[in-house]
Amino acid sequence: MAELHPAVALARELIAVPSVTPAPAHAFDALARALGDAGFTVERHTFGPAREAVENLFAFFKAGDGPHLGLAGHVDVVPPGDDSAWCVPPFEARIADGVLHGRGAQDMKGGVAAMACAAMDWTRDATRGTVSLIITGDEEGPAKHGTKPLVASIHERVPLDGCVVGEPTSVSQLGDTVKVGRRGSLSATVIVSGKQGHVAYQHRALNPVPTALSVGQALLAPLDEGSASFLPTNLEIVSIDVGNAAWNVIPAKVTIRFNVRFNDLWTAERLRAELSSRVAGASARGAVEIVFEPANDCFLTDDPHLRDAVMEAVSEVTGVRPDANTGGGTSDARFIKNYCPVVEFGGVGDLLHQVDERVPVAELERLTRCYRAIIDRFMAV
């Protein structure tokens, strides 16, 4: 059997750990060992109270004066679902017909392995600059005790000049898409209260459902038509619940939950004010309350050095000119952008979070070359 490419071998070790979010501490062992053997200073940080504690890894190699490029990712994964639905058991990390199978192959243990191997390869002839790995164990979960406190801690000691997040951004072929920003995210719950009663004696009750329907329609009205760099702001109602299984009972309240992905035409503060106004304007009968969750702000990376380094390196290795866009969901880039310019680039993500997640071995090898080329270009200031 031919010797495996280092990134493929490391990805197999990582996938073999069933690190459903939040990742257990030993999910970092193989990565810490490989980086330590390559001369990296390896730190393992735990954040959060005991019941919520999350382990994270920070490893860096300083070759001399020069810029500091971070490579960020996560080793936690979403649950695999029914193991019997998989062609290959989700944590077996089997290679078959040139394809590596397993939960996390795309999102994003394969990407973490490629970044780590590119960074270790760079150390062999590095003359300037610092490269670090910023790896969390809770990106797929609440993300409270991972990248957010880890980057804050790092930046106090080893300030970042730029960062690449290895999320699987490519759509149909490696290198076709790079994310240079993301829409913001805001979630909220609307509670419409009435008075429970018998449907035959409606005058003794107050049905909250008609008001809830009006509120829902008001929320769904368009917010904008998009901007130069972003898609239109979009609000999706994800749940409407009255908690009522009976046919002859008017419910006491209706709960509406929604999420908004907003562009750079809005701030979270202005968006909260607009949505509150819409809810108040649609309220006819009963008490209506809106409760907002913490928001993630919209951002756009306009740093030409980082963007050019990524775009040119990816094009050089893959032969594809990436589309630089801001579509899709959120990632830990939303935390990193508070400290330095950040761009997202990774492999094809057509099977992330799905049954039979897998990645071609050849793609992991080329992805490693992409990350190495990005490092070289970023250091060439």
CB 271 within 8 A of CB 186: yes
> CA triplet 367, 373, 379: central angle to 5 degrees?
140
CB 133 within 8 A of CB 40: yes
Task: Choose among 74, 91, 58: nearest CA to 22.
Answer: 74
Residues ≥6 apart with Cβ < 8 Å to 114: 7, 11, 166, 347, 364, 367, 368, 370, 371
Indicate the SS3 state at residue 248: coil
CA 286 to chain CA mean position, Å: 39
How many residues comprise the chain?
Answer: 381
139 is catalytic: yes
Task: Choose among 117, 88, 84, 92: nearest CA to 15.
Answer: 92
Name the strands in the sheet holding 99-101, side by side, starting at the edge strand that comes first in the sequence.
Answer: 95-96, 99-101, 358-360
Distance CA 111, CA 8 (A): 10
The residue whose two tokens read 């939040």 is: 22
Token duo for residue 15: 């996938």
Token duo for residue 43: 């730190």
CB 186 within 8 A of CB 258: no
Q: Which of 76, 264, 332, 357 is catalytic?
A: 76
DSSP state of 312: H
- Residue 58's DSSP bridge partners are 43, 134
- Residue 207's DSSP bridge partners are none
Question: In 10 A of CB 102, how many CB atoms?
Answer: 29
316 is catalytic: no
Task: Choose among 380, 365, 378, 360: nearest CA to 317.
Answer: 365
Q: Which of 55, 107, 138, 139 is catalytic?
A: 139
Name the strands in the sheet holding 41-47, side by side, starting at the edge strand that comes first in the sequence.
Answer: 41-47, 54-64, 129-136, 68-74, 162-165, 342-344, 177-179, 323-325
Catalytic site positions: 76, 139
